[in-house]
Amino acid sequence: MAAGDHHLRLGSYLGDVSALSFLPSSPRPLLLAGTGSELLVYDVDAARLLASFKVFDGVRVHGIQPRGSPPADGLTVAVFGERRAKLLRLRVDAGDDGGAVGVRLELEQRLPGFDHWVLDAGFLEVDGLLAIGLSDNSVALWDLTERVFVTRVNSPEKCLLYSMRMWGDSVKSLLVASGTILNEILIWKLVPWTLSSSLLCTDEVGAPAVENRENVRFSGNRYMAVHIGRLKEHEGSIFRISWSSDGSKFMSVSDDRSARMWMLSCQPQNFTNQAANIDNVDIIPKLTLFGHSARIWDCYISDSIVITAGEDCTCCIWDMDGKLIKMFKEHIGRGLWRCLYDPSSLVLITAGFDSAIKVHHLCNSFHDILEEKVVPDGLKYESEVFEISSPIVSGQYGPLDSKSEYVRCLHFVQENVLYVATNSGYLHHADLSDTNDVKWTDVIQVTEKAPIICMDVMTVHPDSLDKKDIVALGDGHGNVTIVRLTSGNIEPKVDLSFIWSAEKDRQLLGIYWCKSLECSHIFTADPRGVLKLWNIRNALYSNAHALTASQEVSLVAVFESPFGARIMCLDVSLQDEILIAGDKKGNIVAFPFHKTLAAHNSSGTQQKIPFCDRFKGAHGISSVTSVHITTSTSDDAQIHTTGGDGCICFFKYGRYVNNVEFVGMRQLKDLGTIQSIYADHVSDTQLVGTYAIGFTSADFVIWDLGNDAKMVQISCGGWRRPYSYYLGTVPEYQNCFAFVKDHSIHVRRHWAPAQDKKLLPQVLHTQFHGREVHSLCFIDPASYSHHEKSTNLWIATGCEDGTVRLTGHSASNAGRWCSSKMLGEHVGGSAVRDTCFITKTYTLIDKSCNSSGSSGNILVENEETTFLLISVGSKQVLTTWILQPRIVENRQVCSGGRDLDSKQSAECSDNGDSAVTFQWLSTHMPPKLTTNRLKAVHVKQNFEEGNSSAQPNLAIMDQMENDWRYLSVTAFLLKHPATKLTVCFAVVACSDATVILRALLLPSRLWFDVALLVPQASPVLVLRHIVDASNDVGNGDRYIIVSGSTDGTITLWDLTDTIHGFMQLVSETQPHMVIDCQKRPKTGRGSQGGRRRWRSLANNSVKKDSKQTLLPTENDLNASCVAAESSHEISGLEENEVITTTEDTTSSSYSCDVPEVQPMQTFSGVHQSGVNCLHVSEMERACPTTGMSSYCIISGGDDQAVQCFVFTLGSPQQSCSMNKASLNSPANGALTILSQHTVPSAHGSAVKGIWTDGVWAFSTGLDQRIRCWKMDPSGKFMEHSHVIISVPEPETLDVHHDRGRGKYHIAVAGRGMQMVEFSPRKDDSMEAA
């Protein structure tokens, strides 16, 4: 490593976990985990990271093997990876409560490097040796006392291995199982050389053993390998082998998606080094397991269960008969690498590519399915599964009709009380305290035996002895029946009941209590989207008989939805004076709800309340299943909704502007429909956890949102059957579910005393992307809400799986990754290829307006500054997020979506998470019927020539269009001083070798295609921009785009005139006054957020009213296209009218003519192959001859070279024509090259990421190194230092310069992400400057 390497400091790695192991004989369970080159030590009970240690340099930890009995001075741990192995001494400092408070790690022994990879290690305590299993099918023995190799024994079978596992505590008992690349398992052991002659004839391999020249004397014997068996049943490579604790059986998993269990015919403890005994050992195939849909990576076997983990991200638990007990699927990405199980505590640990380490307590989570022999003494399950039947419904068999008696509604009010409503109008009360003797009580039968269509129950004073249940029933004749019950000593007692007519026959479909209104008011719903609010307070608390009480019921208000669809759910906030209702077609409607409506004397008034705002397609075309309003101290009320599309959507309602705005969403792919969200509070201000209640296929599921884990899954036949659930204070241990099947009510209840149980945290390590990361960018700390107080750095990353995540790195927490939350997913999960964060907003110089003091490089004031995050990827998807101010005081479930969106609840919940939060802004993608831009030209030519045969090829071209993807993006914000409109100009490069300039008009979210940057012979891999303010003030800024292509070319475009022309057009036409925009992102699951509308700016035919005129066509920008998508209709238009006016306006966003911009300069042959990465920076010193700003472009390519050149821009008049030149030409008209420098072999492989600020430069490549380059003002640079990172196959790099602390934070990502800190000495920085 070069001089000065002490300035580079490796930070923590966030990536796949490749090794797991429990520490033996510790008072509390401690877990060792290997990730990258680090060893992590966790306290499992406290879910706390005790310490992390760097074990290797650039070598991944593949295995951890602790020594059996820890001595008083610490525990010896063998850690190995690739061709290296180390022995470490681990010392744990225990606290007063027995828990670990500190961990120290010391290097005890460093073993010499091996010529093959280390696959396993085991301590042979009897002989004081360490056995090392190598991938050439050999075993090396290391003397722990003498610290030398004793012997190395090669198997007679010369082959390479994928896996090896050893069992035994001495050389005599050592058994070796080797998984070969030839789909075979070889079982062999070490025997003394004196017995070898008698064993050669019985060796199953058939080849005599060859003496290893490296063998040395050990205890008077020399050792060789003798084979016991060869197993050929697998049809794929053997990835993992696991022995049972007694060595009598072992498990193997393979590429063929199977797991196989094998039994030895005799106990290994009876093995002696006698030929007869070894010859009589048989290996018997015992069990074959199929259940994974991909390769299986790891396995575990005990006396009672078998566990497998695979590439399909599932962990399966099997019994010894091959029955699948349970399947976990809580990880994401490329698979689960490791599973670990502790039989004494029933704790299962899983870890994989997504960096998460998840803990499962089998006793508590899956109590109803494990066998009794799995449970240790003293542990009992509190799970009950039983079946009950109403006395009236029992005995019903055969087909049903409308007059048959059957259960229509169920409702739990507590774990042992269930209300049952039937088709004949009966309401039953079931006491489930004794499952063997369920007590049924007939509460009431509604008038005329009408079928009960809907039911809702509210419990008054649930924690007191005066607990009352108020049951509301809606029947088929449109009547509402209210029943008030109190708990009796033997059975419940009906205190009061009354009835009134709310709707006509068959028109009453829903009845809803609202907690904020208590039991004084109730809502009813009809099929046409009409809600009625009834005041029942006087009737409910009167002492009159039923007839008189019904006369006390009054209709207070009528709320009519503009969508005309049945209302499915609602919520009211009296503080915000708002009612939010969700309907069957996925829409939500906001109504004003004045406090006088809930007043006690509101019975005398009846009002028809008009809606104040609506949001079409909040859940696409799927039903809205629940609505919840959370009041905050800000100007906005927070709303979250769930729906049948499997999404949780977040909205905010502005109190003063009276509008509903989409904030964000979370999609749960494991749930087909989400019925509601349950928030567990220990107090009014402290939130413990949040859970999603829903269904997947035919199963009921309770999903832990904080840990992203499945808690309960029950097969019930789906959500269309009558069902009910009830959760206690600790849902992990207190949950009930009932459903109807075959005329019976099936109940599954697990109810353990909460005070006797302790929650076991389920996520130990921050969850990250489950696939390769292609792009990352720092979120500038200047954009944080409280950047002066924040010690965290936030990074946005885009992944192959189509997700964009925001990950925090804590400088105050020993440089650890503190949290990672998903911002969103590209439509259909299309891969994210590039991200860009926009920190500056420039002000346009508009000579037509009298705005004094405007200059080209003026930034918008902080209170008006907009910060955008842009991501692009496959299927030509371009998504933008906007940075929002964070409301810190409200920590409820729907506050900005943070608590629901966070994947971790145990790490860094208060480490500055509130400083950064993004809200989805807009998504741009081609229309469904578009064809690719280049081929569309040929189709047009064919039609002009009269060749109509090209028309059938449109479908093929449309299919080909799905393969196009965006490769890079760069963007900047420009504000018009006169109109106050802000435009985001984004330049995107597509894989079809096109580069296009697009504009996003804010705040209206309208997309425009502004210009096409031509010509491009090869696809562009990287884009950057320059905003040059060095010109005369009157001319304003210049906007330059820099690109690097796959053919090694670097090209520059001048977009100044194009951008000024577009801004002039927008200021004149005001398109945002006419065209609506997209309000909700698409999810790719049929939840599209409303009808798609694509309109042309020049030929728009939408009118808001009769006085509206069409947009002027004489000022169009060569008929630029607008791509606008709407989630609800234009304000003031009826639904049918909107559909009529928009059906004929759908067109391709590429069908219009887009102006073309020629390059200002092209440099060919900069790299011998593709330009993978490129960065532009303004030099600190201006050009000495002209005084103009000089810029530096540094690039890296597949040719392993790093290229840098410094230049100044020429006058705009010199940029009109395209110039082709090489970097050797000092003056090229459009720009002047001041200097140029190349390092031919900067990296040992392709360069993938690069960054510079003109003083220091940093690069990374596939050689897994970060190199620091010291630059001088002339552009020449030399390597200052380098460091080996833990990220395999790095793809991208970004740097944040902390000028206040004088540090550079370097983030590199690929298969995981790692932070590196660089602290230059002051003399180094001064010398470079």
- Ranked by mean pLDDT, which of 19-33, 349-363, 537-551 comes out on top? 349-363
**Residue 104, CA distances (Å) to 25, 51, 52, 641 in order:** 17, 8, 10, 48
What integer is the mean pLDDT of 406-423?
92
Of 842-851, 927-936, 1223-1232, which range is least confident? Answer: 927-936
3-class state of residue 195 by DSSP: helix
* Contact between 37 and 57 (Cβ < 8 Å): yes
Query: CA-CA distance, 80 to 229, in Å (whole number)?
Result: 28
**More confident call, 446 vs 789:** 446
Return the amino acid letter for 986. A
In this structure, of 58-62, 135-139, 380-384, the range with the lowest mean pLDDT score is: 380-384
Q: How far apart are CA 453 and CA 456, in angstroms?
A: 11
Range 108-114, long-range pairs (CB < 8 A, 24+ positions): 108/76, 109/144, 109/147, 110/86, 111/84, 111/85, 111/86, 111/87, 111/142, 112/149, 113/83, 113/84, 114/83, 114/84, 114/85, 114/140
Checking if the pLDDT of 521 tops 90, the result is yes
- Most confident residue range from 359-363, 956-960, 1316-1320: 1316-1320
Residue 835 has pLDDT above 80, yes or no: yes
**For residue 214, how many other CB atoms are within 10 A of its CB?**
12
| Of 517, 511, 484, residue with least CA distance to 629 | 517
**Of residues 1115 and 644, more confidently modeled:** 644
Q: Which helix (H) or strand (E) holds 109?
A: strand 100-110
Share of residues in the chain with pLDDT > 70 (%): 74
Q: Which amino acid is at 4?
A: G
Q: What is the pLDDT confidence band of residue 1325, given thresholds at 50, 70 and 90?
A: low
Tens of pLDDT along 620-655? 889 999 999 987 667 788 899 999 989 999 998 888
Instruction: Give me the mean pLDDT over the 1017-1046 stretch.
Output: 84
Higher confidence at residue 772 or residue 949? 772
Of the chain, the percentage scoring pLDDT greater than 90 comes to 43
Contacts of 214 (CB under 8 A, 6+ apart): 149, 151, 152
- Distance of alpha carbon 1185 from alpha carbon 1251, whole angstroms: 27
CA–CA separation, 906 and 936 (whole Å): 53
Instruction: Check residue 1263 and give its pLDDT.
Output: 93
d(CA 638, CA 889): 13
Q: Give the pLDDT of residue 1013.
A: 93
Residue 890 contacts by C-beta under 8 Å, 6 or more apart in sequence? 630, 632, 633, 634, 638
* Contact indicator for 247, 175 with CB cutoff of 8 Å: yes
Per the prediction, the chain carries an average pLDDT of: 79
Backbone phi and psi for residue 1140, each to the nearest 5 degrees, phi listed first: -65, -40
Tokens of 700: 């009921």
Tell if the pTM clears 0.75, that is, is over it: yes
**Phi, psi (rounded to 5 degrees) for 425:** 90, 10
Distance set, CA 271 to CA 170, 368, 1263 (Å)? 11, 40, 48
3 state SS of 128: coil
pLDDT at 865 over 80: no
What is the β-pairing status of strands 1220-1221 and 1202-1209? unpaired
Q: Is the CB of residue 96 less than 8 Å from the CB of residue 75?
A: no
Of 914, 918, 908, the residue nearest 811 (C-alpha): 908
Residue among 173, 201, 177, 200 nearest 187 (CA): 177
* Mean local confidence (pLDDT), 279-303: 88
Token pair 């196959």 in the structure block, residue: 1289
**Which residues neighbour 429 within 8 Å (Cβ) at sequence distance 6 or greater?**
417, 418, 419, 420, 440, 441, 443, 485, 491, 492
Which of 1226, 1234, 1219, 1221 minimizes the C-alpha distance to 1187? 1234
Assigned token pair, 236: 């794929």
In this prediction, residue 613 carries a pLDDT of: 92
Would you say residue 375 has pLDDT above 70?
Answer: no
DSSP 1130: P
Strands 687-696 and 699-704: antiparallel
Whether 91 has a pLDDT exceeding 70, the answer reads yes
CB neighbourhood size of 1027 (10 A): 16
Distances (CA, A) of 749 to 25, 382, 385, 415, 417: 36, 8, 6, 8, 12
- Segment 75-100 mean pLDDT: 84
Q: Do 823 and 866 touch, CB atoms closer than 8 A? A: no
Give the strands of the sheet with 357-361, arranged side by side: 336-342, 347-352, 357-361, 763-765
What pLDDT was estimated at residue 933? Answer: 41
Nearest to 800 by CA among 767, 775, 771: 771
Lowest-pLDDT range of 463-467, 904-908, 1173-1177? 904-908
Which residues have CB under 8 Å from 917's CB, separation 6+?
A: 883, 884, 886, 896, 898
Strand, coil or helix: what is 859? strand
Mean pLDDT of 971-990: 90
Mean pLDDT along residues 376-404: 66
**Residue range 833-852: average pLDDT?**
74
- What's the pLDDT tens digit per position in 482-512? 999 987 777 888 988 999 999 999 999 999 9
| 1049 token code pair | 């070319």
pLDDT of residue 1097: 39
Average of per-residue pLDDT across 572-598: 92
Q: Would you state the pLDDT for residue 75?
A: 87
**Mean pLDDT throughout 76-102?**
83
Place of tokens 């006419």: 1074
CA distances from 795 to 101, 588, 607, 1129, 1249 (A): 31, 34, 52, 36, 16
CA nearest neighbour of 1007 among 927, 933, 1102:
927
Spacing of C-alpha 480 from chain mean position:
45
Under 8 Å CB-to-CB from 504, ≥6 apart: which residues?
A: 478
- Please give the residue that has the higher pLDDT: either 1099 or 419: 419
pLDDT of residue 963: 74
Which band of pLDDT confidence, cut at 50, 70 and 90, is reported for residue 527?
very high
Whole-Å CA distances, 1025 to 40, 146, 841, 1039, 1250? 41, 63, 14, 7, 15
Helix (H), strand (E) counts: the chain: 11, 90
